[in-house]
Structure 1
Amino acid sequence: MNFDRTQRLSQDGDWRIRANPLAWGNPNAEVVVLGFSKGPTQAGKLATTPHDQIAYKGGRLSAGKILAHVGLIEGGDDRHLRTSVDRLIADPAGRFHFGSLIRCTVERWDGEEWKGTGGAMLDGFVATQFGREVASNCASRFLAELPAATRLVVMFGMGTKGNYIRQARTLIQQARPGRWRTVNEVAYADDTVTFVHVEHFASQGSLIPDWLGENGNRREHLGIRAREAVNAALAPRPISATAA
């Protein structure tokens, strides 16, 4: 594999992936934060970009607002939030691990050029046979056996009408066979780990402010449900009778 250069095309030529798997933070973290894939602000420049500057490049302020909204980091002004995310990504012994569901860069041909962002990008990719194969391979490799310390996986993105939530759940359940339950509209869990979907840090227009509850929009309900699921996942676990 030639890092960040080796590519694979879907059979119809509409999708491609570029081999550049990366991750940041603590590999034995309590909280894993996953984007969908490395976007166009990152792909193609990885060999010359300092490692800790790659993750969520151009979206760290929004990522900070989202993580603060669900109670995972302390809130504050824009500078504080951006600096907090910078520090967490660079910390190899902290509470967080950062990566993406699809470890390679995903791009779609729009008829004129390859694009790594846009409407229905997340659910559109995993709805294709090519996308399901790639996503299934990534889920099996990186999510099937999470560290014992991991209690929560935060997934950036919900998809159109929740399609990405449903499709990601199917892939993750296949990679992690066992007992699963629905926590609420944006979260699901097995016996050890809760997966919570939040607004994507690269969402456009009013989507992030709506989700944050800044506009009195019904989308804020999804942000509230995400915060509730995060709180429940990280709440102290009761001591079992056999351990007492």
Structure 2
Amino acid sequence: MTLQHGWQACRNCHASNSDLRVEGPWHLRANPGYWGTSEPTVLVLGFSKGATQISASQSGNFDGVAFAGMRPRLRQVLDALGIDLGTETVDQALSASSRWLGAASLIRCGLSLDIDGKLTTSGTIMPKAASATFTRQVMRSCVEQHLSPLPASVEKVVMLGTTDAYIKGVKALMADRFSDYRNINEVAFTAQGRTWVFAAHPSPANGEFKHWLGGDMGSASGRKLQLALKALGSAPVVPSAIAPTVAVTKPPRPTASSTPTQAPVAKDSIPMTSTTNGRFAQTFHLVRGDGKKVVPVMMKNKDTGRVAFRLAKQGNTKDGTVEVTDEADLLRKCESGLYQVRAQPLDKSSPANFIRPLHNHRIVKNRA
């Protein structure tokens, strides 16, 4: 597979003498690229380059192409899923210096659809592409070339787009490609021993974006966020037949597990051994609607070495991150409804992730 920051030489879907392929109403322009680290912990996959990204690619600034015009909204998606970029901004995470994130498109090239004589890259193009013969062939080729196998460093894959038809089409494609495919729920599955979730596309044209971010179970889009969070809260079992055999050892990156049943560890978490159980909050815990308990947990800041509880302003960038060591202060901030907090089950059945007190968890003021 190809996970090297920069433009890519792949021309699998094009004739040797052409960078443009036209099949009926579909136009496929050869401009594949990949952004971020070659050893990503999280891999983010858009659908294909839109008009804004294609325009950005013509400027010559490769680093600015991926998710051009929607990077603040991409950060909101990652925040909502509890995906922490540490001290990196989205711009840094999509550069060659990135330490945690990798990003590309499911269809690596730029795809557009001729509708009444006008080429479009948004709107209904995603669900239509998921069912059209030509575009499904292109997606299958991209999966085989660029996503099989995933590097050992990858712990989870986020696919942008939550329309039912798109999800159904992609799931069918993945089920056909990977023998270990297992459906989790309507927005998540496991393949290659990793959890893949569908999340709201950050495009400004996505009218359901705010509903998804809100996570309201009364909203179809909000329910999809809750289902994605539930899927990410349960680490997949990596079958021994495809489990990575070589751990990533490049410091200070986390390593992928070589033990089939071991849950992946959040990149900046403290291993919860008997000597570190004191990292958990002692005065309160949080209970999800289904009764699952999680406890705020102290994390080590890999840049400063400080060990503290970590909170983040909901939907904000790194500027909204707060570190506290006083549990009374931590409780006040959780009760304010303004913060997400890093929390983890005491039994370590899932990694530490950001959760939202009062929004999808209730606060219980006693030790878990």
TM over 0.5: yes
* 1:123 equivalenced with 2:127 (yes/no): yes
Given that 2:35 and 2:63 are in contact with CA atoms closer than 8 Å, whether structure 1 keeps it comes out as yes
Shift, 1:163, TM fit: 1.4
Shift, 1:169, TM fit: 1.6
Given that 1:186 and 1:197 are in contact with CA atoms closer than 8 Å, whether structure 2 keeps it comes out as yes
> Normalising by structure 1, what TM-score?
0.83
Q: Secondary structure at the match of 2:91?
A: helix
Shift, 1:214, TM fit: 6.9
Structure with higher Rg: it is: 2
| Aligned residue-pair number | 227
Deviations 1:35-86 (A, max 9, x none): 00011002155243311100000111111111100100379xxxx9xx8211
The residue aligned with 1:108 is 113
* In 1, Cα distance between equivalents of 2:27 and 2:19: 10
* In 2, Cα distance between equivalents of 1:109 and 1:164: 19
* In 2, Cα distance between equivalents of 1:100 and 1:49: 19
Deviations 1:108-155 (A, max 9, x none): 11113111111x211201211111111111011011211011121100
* In 2, Cα distance between equivalents of 1:239 and 1:136: 30
The residue aligned with 1:15 is 26
* 1:141 equivalenced with 2:145 (yes/no): yes
The residue aligned with 1:210 is 211
Change in 2 beyond 3 A, CA 1:148/1:22: same
2:92 partner letter? R
2:176 partner letter? Q
Counterpart among 82, 85, 102 of residue 71 in structure 1: 82
* 1:6 equivalenced with 2:10 (yes/no): no
The residue aligned with 1:197 is 198
Q: Secondary structure at the match of 1:146?
A: coil
* In 2, Cα distance between equivalents of 1:73 and 1:158: 22
Structure 1 unaligned residues grouped into runs of 5+: none
* In 2, Cα distance between equivalents of 1:85 and 1:205: 20
* In 1, Cα distance between equivalents of 2:160 and 2:193: 20
2:126 partner letter? L
Given that 1:102 and 1:138 are in contact with CA atoms closer than 8 Å, whether structure 2 keeps it comes out as yes
The residue aligned with 2:166 is 164
The residue aligned with 2:63 is 52
1:174 partner letter? D
1:101 partner letter? L
Shift, 1:229, TM fit: 1.8
Counterpart among 221, 224, 241 of residue 222 in structure 1: 224
2:229 partner letter? R
Q: Secondary structure at the match of 1:158?
A: coil
2:117 partner letter? E
The residue aligned with 2:8 is none
Change in 2 beyond 3 A, CA 1:191/1:145: closer
Shift, 1:102, TM fit: 0.1
The residue aligned with 1:173 is 175
Quote the sequence identity (%). Answer: 28
**Larger relative contact order, structure 1 or 2 (CA cutoff 8 Å, min sep 6):** 1
Richer in strand (by share): 2
Change in 2 beyond 3 A, CA 1:136/1:240: closer
Richer in helix (by share): 1
* In 2, Cα distance between equivalents of 1:56 and 1:71: 19
CA RMSD after TM alignment = 2.8
Given that 2:22 and 2:28 are in contact with CA atoms closer than 8 Å, whether structure 1 keeps it comes out as yes
The residue aligned with 1:31 is 42
